[in-house]
Amino acid sequence: MPSQPRVTVVVLNYNGWQDTIACLHSLLLQEYPPLQILVVDNASTDDSVVRLRAEFPQVDLVQAAANKGFSAGNNFAIEHPLAAASDFVWLLNNDTVAPPDTCAKLVAAAIADPRIGLVGSVLRYLYDPVKVQAWGGGRVSRTTGFGRHFTAPTPLGPDSFFTFASVLLRRDMLNDVGLLDDGYFMYFEDSDLCFRARARGWQLAVASGTAVLHKEGGSAAPSEPVRRNRTVRIVTASGMRFLSRYGRPRSLAPFVYLASRLAKRALCGDIAGVRAVLLGMRDWKSNQPRAFQES
């Protein structure tokens, strides 16, 4: 009997050990042996590493030297020998809980066709599990940068993307297409990889028979003004980077996106928000994704 594909699940932690503990407990219950678990601590400033190692001595945990963002943190894991030896890498947000059948159904969807390079998950809200957050992902406009999640089964088109809160990546696809673009500190890196994979002939599929519960927003913490404007800055830089590659028209779309973000905040008298958008534009122009450590 042929062996099952090797899978490494990557969980990125940054000052979020409470959520990460709940996520890891769900991973230890996965009905998919052997599942390798790899936690990357993205240079947390709290006691996350101590707590996680004490709670899960059996789980591999590596520490990044600096918080360079979502893409860079996941790339650090994907290049780790544990993940490099796997047939599939499952990226999973730390603020999720995965039912025991999740990994098995992601893999089943992937091996149905060798040209499937990415398998998305159905995401439901952790605190309202009846409600669908995303059916795999959604669609992003190449003119405005506006993204819309699918909340029911929807045919995947040329502008579709998966949300990387939970996605299974085929190693052969990564070898062909490349890793996540770490020029995106956070946001739009999922759309970028989906677009690059599709351009190389890889297909996308959704594992519809199970659903990951997602707390959502744990990494961005948008409720407090300083953090909210930090997120505005990151989203602006990432959106302009994405549209400068895939926009229609490519030369104009980033500035349509910029103008809409500026106008929205200027009309509300949100001066700090306007400044955050302009800083995001500066980050994009300098091609320097900014690391925003918690104060």
Domain-embedded: residue 158: yes
DSSP state of 290: P
Give pLDDT tens digits for 87-136.
999 999 999 999 999 999 999 999 999 999 999 999 999 999 999 999 99
Residue 294 lies in a domain: no
Cis upstream peptide for 289 (omega within 30°): no
Residues 207 and 230 in one domain: no
Q: Decide which of 182, 214, 246 is a domain's last residue.
A: 214
Domain match, 26 and 163 both: yes
| Domain annotation covers residue 201 | yes
User: 274 by DSSP, 3-state: which?
Assistant: helix
Is residue 192 located within the same domain as residue 230?
no
Query: What is the percent of the chain with per-residue pLDDT over 70, rounded to a whole number?
Result: 94
Query: Based on the domain organization, do 150 and 269 belong to the same domain?
Result: no
User: Is 175 contained in some domain?
Assistant: yes
Q: Which of 180, 214, 248 is the last residue of a domain?
A: 214
- Tens digits of residue pLDDT in 165-201: 999 999 999 999 999 999 999 999 999 999 999 999 9
Residue 170 has what pLDDT?
Answer: 98
* Phi and psi torsions of 235, nearest 5°: -65, -40
Together in a domain, 88 and 125? yes
Question: Considering the domain boundaries, does residue 282 fall inside one?
Answer: yes
- Per-residue confidence (pLDDT) for residue 220, from 0 to 100: 46
Residue 113 in domain: yes
Final residue in a domain of this structure, among 214, 241, 256? 214
Q: How many residues does the chain have?
A: 295
Is residue 64 domain-shared with residue 174, that is, in the same domain? Answer: yes
Q: Which residues of the chain have pLDDT under 70?
A: 1-2, 217-223, 288-295
Q: How far is CA 208 from CA 69, 152, 155, in A?
A: 29, 10, 13
CA distances from 4 to 14, 38, 87, 108, 111 (A): 32, 19, 10, 10, 10
Instruction: Write down the pLDDT at residue 2.
Output: 57
The pLDDT assigned to 290 comes to 60
Cα–Cα distance for residue pair 108/155, rounded to 1 Å: 19
| Confidence (pLDDT) at 1 | 40
The pLDDT value recorded for residue 226 is 84
Q: Which two tokens stand for residue 148?
A: 């819309």
Strand 116-125 relative to strand 203-214, pairing: parallel
For residues 235 and 195, membership in a common domain is answered with no
**Nearest-angstrom CA–CA distance, 254 and 165:** 25
The pLDDT, as a whole number, for residue 224 is 78
SS3 label, residue 224: coil
Asked, for residue 295, whether it belongs to a domain, the answer is: no
For residues 107 and 15, state if they share a domain.
Answer: yes
Query: Residue 223: what pLDDT?
Result: 55
Contact 60, 39 (CB under 8 A): yes
Which candidate, 26, 216, 199, places its Cα nearest to that of 103? 26
Task: Clarify whether residues 79 and 209 are in a common domain.
Answer: yes
Q: At what angle do helices 189-199 and 225-246 cross, to 10 degrees?
A: 20
Model confidence, pTM: 0.93
Same domain, 188 and 237: no
Q: What is the pLDDT of residue 225?
A: 80
Same domain, 150 and 173: yes
Residue 256's domain comprises 225-286
Number of domains in the chain: 2
* CATH number, position 92: 3.90.550.10
Residue 269 lies in a domain: yes
Regarding whether 282 and 141 lie in a shared domain, the answer is no
